């Protein structure tokens, strides 16, 4: 406030005074800005501002906007509220039910495959049983660096129903009839899971490996002194102490499984698979929102997916005790 | 002090990167020459993620002309328009146009177009719209698109009416200019058939589907080889069903007014007949779902099938993917269920539209109709793109239809336009309306797979399809 008063008082005076007041104004300005920035109350907000802004603009706003849109019929020219019609339609929509079943199935199997195996590999990598560990780690991790667009296309060609497809060449060599891999539910599910495991085993293994590194080695040593077997050490030390990592991997696997889209999109070269065997919830959302330009209905699909994902994860986190208050 | 500068730079970079995300990425514009020469700038970029990446950008026409944007999903289409634009500028010195042509991948282009129409900003002046996407783009009728009714008047009389109707909006206005009729005909590998004593006369004698089935059985018996079939039926396309509907004069969409009904006799007959072929090993299921895919071309090249019905634009696939088949193939009209029925149906196509966001929609419409409907334009369409043009006055023009310098006229054993002329009055139309994408999707992802792959009962598969379609109407 000081500089404002200053400038007001000296307003009608000579040039020198004006100059002086100008410099003091500048100084005062910098000072108050500094004060503002260095104040313990505001600084955290200032530094968090970029995140808060991007989070609000790109997450919170679309989230609420999508919830509102899910109650609307969004036409080319007019948009009107239609109550819960989009949701009642979802109840009757058999294609949506197929997509739900597919996504859940995929989520379940990826969780079943992508937790025990990477954990096993991580334990192996941490032990003295494996040689050339760096090479193995790199080999398992490299798929995660490739684009799903490319790997999906390669898997599509491998699983092609044509006689020249890699797997069918293999089948012919074994004297078996050629298969229409991506037209049958069972074999296409295998292709999808194979693609997923190929891509993510290395990543999950690294999570577990970092978890293993944080376990105090003295625990194993004292177990050795007590005469524990390797299995007992694994069961009573490794598994319990790996719980936080496992919960983290499980939580992200549930979200990733439920929101899978690109793998299926690339494997069938588009969003249409025979009898919708490869259609996922997000695939259906894309189909409705983008391909059929029915944003209201697509938003309803999205909201259902979000609610389901939250419920499953809260139940899961509740069951394994993560949400409980830390006990002293 | 140094620390301050560094932190200031860092925060500036952070804010800048945040704001950059909000900006729009415009397609790069190709430089244009003063003389109106074509300067192309092919941007060979990999399309990844959701951002539509143009495959090629070209600007044609003088700088002084009205500037317009045009999008297509086929580069050959844009090359054609560019050449027609040069002709237009030559003939209309007072109405010069400069157009920047951009080619996008199919899905990206249609999504970008619909988004820009819906948000009322960023749409091109002119844009190609594939038949399957027409209902989505036409949703905004005259709010989004500029009617071509006036611009096409000079050419309307010569154009095939059924084809123009296919690109009309629900308000009766003409919004799209067609490229071709897409008349369905039968393609026969006569060279292969002759090896098994089936002659051109035998093929010409096929009038009905019963004759066709009998000839198929004869061929399969004569050939007696595993993996060789007479034809292939599609699980990923409804062409066969469209033919059946056109033959009986039915239409599952019910048009603009009616309700969609997929449980039609014509559809049931075709599906039942196809199930019979599969059981008798006369037909196989097309690899990857239909013949217009890489696997389909390979199947034809491997002589696994020797006949199939497809629209006349499929001729260009022979040129582009199967040039070694020159001289082997013969074209006839499609068989019918009962004598006297229509024997063809217009399938597929690209309707080019003028958007209301255009800087000069009337001028854009005039140019578009000149390019796609004038005899000059139609001749170029046939020569360069190999389509069966909609301007019927050209069909019987000897210098056009029997021109020996034309690739397609010498590629096949007969003149394609002779076949087209013979079926001129028997080409049916299946409407493309709002419900069409829903029907198409249900049939191509579920029904055809159930019937042809899983051997499900035709009636129950169609009943299931009807339920899915009813949910949307």
On whether both A14 and A107 belong to a single domain, the answer is: no
Question: Residue B409 pLDDT > 80, yes or no?
Answer: yes
**pLDDT tens, position by position, B79-115:** 999 999 999 999 999 999 999 999 998 888 998 999 8
Q: Are residues A296 and A284 in contact, defined by beta-carbon separation less than 8 angstroms?
A: no
B348's tokens? 């597929």
Q: How far is CA A166 from the centre of its chain?
A: 31
Q: Domain end: A26, A55, A81, which one?
A: A81
On whether both A234 and A295 belong to a single domain, the answer is: yes
pLDDT for the residue numbered A160:
87
pLDDT for the residue numbered B2:
56
> From CA A277, how far away is CA B337, in angstroms rounded?
34
For the beta carbon of residue A259, count every other beta carbon within 10 angstroms: 17
Question: How many residue pairs bridge chain A and chain B with CB atoms within 8 Å of each other?
Answer: 66
On whether both A16 and A161 belong to a single domain, the answer is: no
Identify all chain B residues contacting A149, using CB atoms and an 8 Å cutoff. Answer: 48
* A274, A279, A285, A289: best to mutate for the B interface, most B CBs within 10 A: A274
Report the predicted TM-score, pTM, of the whole model to 2 decimal places. 0.79
Question: Residue B311 pLDDT > 60, yes or no?
Answer: yes
**pLDDT tens, position by position, B169-214:** 889 899 999 999 999 999 999 999 999 999 999 999 999 999 999 9
Angle between helix B265-279 and B209-223 (nearest 10): 10
Question: Residue B245 pLDDT > 90, yes or no?
Answer: yes
Q: State how far the alpha carbon of B252 is from the alpha carbons of B163, B265, B270, B309, B429, in Å.
A: 18, 10, 14, 20, 11
**pLDDT tens, position by position, A84-113:** 999 999 999 999 999 999 999 999 999 999
Strand pairing category for B56-60 and A79-81: unpaired
Count up the domains in chain A and report the number.
2
In a domain, A187, yes or no: yes
On whether both A104 and A240 belong to a single domain, the answer is: yes
pLDDT for the residue numbered A28:
66
Angle between helix A243-258 and A94-114 (nearest 10): 150
Which residue is listed with tokens 């009728």?
B141
In a domain, A263, yes or no: yes
In a domain, A143, yes or no: yes
Question: Residue B65 pLDDT > 70, yes or no?
Answer: yes
Q: How far is CA A211 from the centre of its chain?
A: 20
Question: Residue B366 pLDDT > 90, yes or no?
Answer: yes
In a domain, A324, yes or no: no
Q: What percent of chain B has pLDDT over 70?
A: 89
Nearest Cβ partner of B287 from A147, A162, A272?
A162
In a domain, A228, yes or no: yes
For the beta carbon of residue A265, count every other beta carbon within 10 angstroms: 22
Question: Residue A299 pLDDT > 60, yes or no?
Answer: yes
Instruction: Measure A16 CA to nearest chain B CA, in Å.
Output: 30
The SS3 assignment for B238 reads coil
Instruction: Enumerate residues 151 to 180 of chain B having a beta carbon within 8 A of any beta carbon in chain A.
Output: none
**pLDDT tens, position by position, B9-38:** 655 554 444 444 343 333 333 333 333 333
For the beta carbon of residue B36, count every other beta carbon within 10 angstroms: 20
- The reply to whether residue B140 touches residue A76, judged by beta carbons under 8 angstroms, is yes
**pLDDT tens, position by position, B328-347:** 999 999 999 999 999 999 99
Question: Residue B47 pLDDT > 90, yes or no?
Answer: no
Q: State how far the alpha carbon of B268 is from the alpha carbons of A79, A316, B2, B180, in Å.
A: 39, 49, 81, 29
In a domain, A244, yes or no: yes
Q: Domain end: A81, A99, A116, which one?
A: A81
Question: Residue A17 pLDDT > 60, yes or no?
Answer: no
Spell out the alpha helix ranges (H) of B350-456: 361-373, 375-380, 398-401, 407-411, 416-422, 436-442, 448
Q: Are residues A313 and A247 in contact, defined by beta-carbon separation less than 8 angstroms?
A: no
> From CA B273, how far away is CA B210, in angstroms rounded?
9
Domains with residue ranges and CATH for chain B: 52-181+348-394 (3.40.190.10), 184-345+414-470 (3.40.190.10)
Q: Domain end: A60, A81, A102, which one?
A: A81
**pLDDT tens, position by position, B424-466:** 889 998 988 889 989 998 999 999 999 999 999 999 999 999 9
Instruction: Enumerate residues 105 to 144 of chain B having a beta carbon within 8 A of any beta carbon in chain A.
Output: 107, 111, 114, 117-118, 136, 139-140, 143-144
DSSP line for A281-321: HHHHHHIIIIIS--HHHHHHHHHHHHHHHHHHHHHHHHHTT
Strand pairing category for B427-428 and B344-345: parallel
Instruction: Look up the domain containing A91 and give its range.
Output: 85-319
Q: Give the DSSP H/E element, type plus range, for residue B184.
A: strand B184-189
The SS3 assignment for B269 reads helix
Question: Residue B234 pLDDT > 50, yes or no?
Answer: yes
On whether both A36 and A95 belong to a single domain, the answer is: no
> From CA B288, how far away is CA B283, in angstroms rounded?
15
Mean of per-residue pLDDT scores for chain B: 87
Q: Are residues B215 and B283 in contact, defined by beta-carbon separation less than 8 angstroms?
A: no
Q: Are residues B243 and B334 in contact, defined by beta-carbon separation less than 8 angstroms?
A: yes
B166's tokens? 């296919």
Mean pLDDT of A126-153: 89
Mean pLDDT of A286-311: 91
- CATH number assigned to the domain comprising residue A172: 1.10.3720.10
Question: Residue B74 pLDDT > 60, yes or no?
Answer: yes
Question: Residue A201 pLDDT > 90, yes or no?
Answer: yes
On whether both A100 and A230 belong to a single domain, the answer is: yes
Nearest Cβ partner of A276 from B235, B288, B446?
B446
- The reply to whether residue A162 touches residue B295, judged by beta carbons under 8 angstroms, is yes
- Partnered with residue B99 across adjacent β-strands are B60, B68
On whether both A66 and A105 belong to a single domain, the answer is: no
Q: Are residues A109 and A170 in contact, defined by beta-carbon separation less than 8 angstroms?
A: no
pLDDT level of residue A164 (50, 70, 90 thresholds): confident
* B135, B292, B445: best to mutate for the A interface, most A CBs within 10 A: B445
- Complex ipTM above 0.85? no
DSSP line for B128-163: EEEGGGHHHHHTTHHHHB---TTTTHHHHTTB-HHH
pLDDT for the residue numbered B22:
40
pLDDT level of residue B5 (50, 70, 90 thresholds): low
CB within 8 Å of B226: residues ≥ 6 apart: none
A1 or A20, which is more confident: A20
Nearest CA in chain B to A275: B446
Q: Are residues B75 and B43 in contact, defined by beta-carbon separation less than 8 angstroms?
A: no
């Amino acid at each position: 406030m000081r500089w404002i008063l200053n400038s007001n008082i000296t307003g009608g005076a000579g040039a020198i005074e004006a100059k002086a007041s100008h410099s003091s104004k500048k100084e005062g300005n910098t000072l108050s800005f500094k004060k503002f920035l260095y104040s313990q109350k505001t600084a955290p907000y200032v530094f968090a501002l970029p995140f808060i802004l991007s989070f609000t603009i790109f997450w919170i706003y679309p989230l609420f906007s999508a919830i509102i849109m899910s109650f609307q019929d969004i036409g080319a020219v007019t948009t009107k509220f239609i109550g819960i019609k989009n949701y009642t339609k979802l109840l009757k929509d058999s294609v949506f039910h197929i997509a739900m079943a597919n996504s859940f199935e995929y989520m379940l199997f990826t969780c079943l495959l992508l937790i025990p195996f990477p954990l096993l590999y991580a334990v192996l990598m941490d032990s003295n049983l494996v040689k050339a560990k760096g090479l193995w780690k790199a080999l398992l991790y490299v798929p995660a660096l490739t684009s799903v667009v490319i790997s999906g296309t390669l898997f599509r060609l491998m699983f092609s129903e044509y006689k020249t497809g890699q797997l069918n060449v293999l089948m012919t060599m074994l004297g078996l009839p050629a298969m229409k891999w991506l037209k049958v539910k069972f074999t296409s599910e295998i292709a999808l899971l194979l693609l997923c495991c190929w891509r993510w085993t290395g990543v999950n293994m690294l999570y577990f490996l970092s978890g293993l590194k944080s376990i105090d080695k003295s625990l194993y040593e004292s177990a050795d002194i007590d005469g524990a077997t390797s299995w007992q050490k694994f069961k009573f030390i490794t598994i319990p102490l790996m719980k936080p990592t496992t919960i983290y991997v499980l939580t992200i696997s549930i979200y990733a499984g439920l929101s899978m889209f690109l793998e299926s999109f690339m494997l069938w070269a588009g969003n249409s698979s025979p009898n919708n065997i490869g259609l996922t919830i997000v695939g259906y959302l894309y189909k409705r929102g983008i391909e059929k330009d029915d944003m209201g209905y697509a938003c309803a699909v999205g909201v259902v997916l979000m609610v389901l994902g939250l419920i499953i994860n809260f139940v899961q986190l509740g069951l394994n005790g993560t949400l409980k208050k830390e006990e002293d | 002090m140094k620390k301050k500068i560094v932190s200031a730079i860092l925060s500036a970079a952070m804010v800048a990167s945040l704001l950059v995300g909000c900006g729009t990425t415009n397609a790069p514009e190709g430089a244009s020459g003063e003389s109106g020469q074509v300067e192309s700038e092919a941007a060979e970029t990999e399309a990844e993620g959701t951002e539509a990446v143009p495959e090629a950008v070209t600007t044609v026409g003088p700088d002084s002309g009205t500037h317009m944007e045009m999008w297509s999903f086929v580069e050959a289409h844009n090359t054609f328009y560019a050449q027609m634009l040069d002709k237009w500028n030559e003939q209309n010195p007072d109405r010069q146009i400069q157009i920047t042509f951009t080619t996008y991948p199919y899905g990206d282009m249609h999504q970008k177009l619909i988004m820009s129409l819906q948000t009322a900003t960023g749409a091109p002046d002119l844009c190609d719209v594939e038949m399957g996407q027409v209902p989505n783009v036409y949703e905004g009728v005259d709010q989004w698109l500029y009617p071509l009714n006036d611009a096409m008047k000079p050419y309307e009389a010569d154009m095939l009416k059924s084809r123009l109707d296919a690109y009309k909006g629900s308000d009766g206005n003409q919004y799209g200019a067609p490229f071709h009729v897409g008349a369905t005909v039968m393609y026969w590998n006569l060279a292969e058939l002759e090896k098994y004593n089936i002659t051109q006369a035998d093929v010409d004698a096929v009038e009905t589907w019963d004759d066709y089935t009998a000839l198929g059985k004869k061929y399969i018996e004569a050939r007696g080889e595993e993996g060789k079939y007479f034809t292939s039926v599609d699980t990923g396309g409804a062409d066969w069903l469209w033919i059946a509907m056109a033959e009986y004069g039915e239409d599952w969409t019910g048009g603009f007014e009616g309700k969609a009904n997929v449980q039609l006799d014509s559809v049931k007959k075709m599906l039942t007949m196809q199930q019979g072929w599969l059981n008798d090993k006369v037909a196989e299921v097309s690899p990857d779902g239909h013949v217009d895919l890489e696997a389909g071309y390979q199947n034809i090249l491997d002589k696994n099938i020797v006949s199939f019905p497809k629209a006349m634009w499929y001729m260009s696939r022979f040129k582009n993917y199967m040039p070694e088949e020159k001289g082997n193939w013969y074209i006839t009209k499609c068989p019918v269920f009962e004598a006297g029925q229509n024997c063809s149906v217009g399938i597929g196509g690209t309707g080019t539209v003028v958007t209301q966001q255009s800087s000069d929609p009337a001028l854009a419409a005039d140019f578009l109709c000149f390019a796609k409907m004038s005899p000059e334009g139609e001749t170029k369409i046939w020569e360069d793109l190999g389509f069966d043009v909609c301007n019927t006055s050209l069909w019987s023009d000897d210098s056009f239809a029997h021109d020996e310098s034309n690739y397609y006229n010498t590629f096949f054993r007969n003149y394609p336009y002779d076949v087209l002329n013979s079926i001129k009055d028997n080409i049916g139309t299946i409407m493309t309306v709002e419900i069409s994408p829903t029907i198409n999707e249900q049939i191509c992802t579920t029904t055809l797979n159930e019937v042809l792959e899983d051997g499900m009962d035709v009636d129950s598969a169609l009943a299931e399809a009807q339920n899915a379609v009813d949910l949307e109407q």
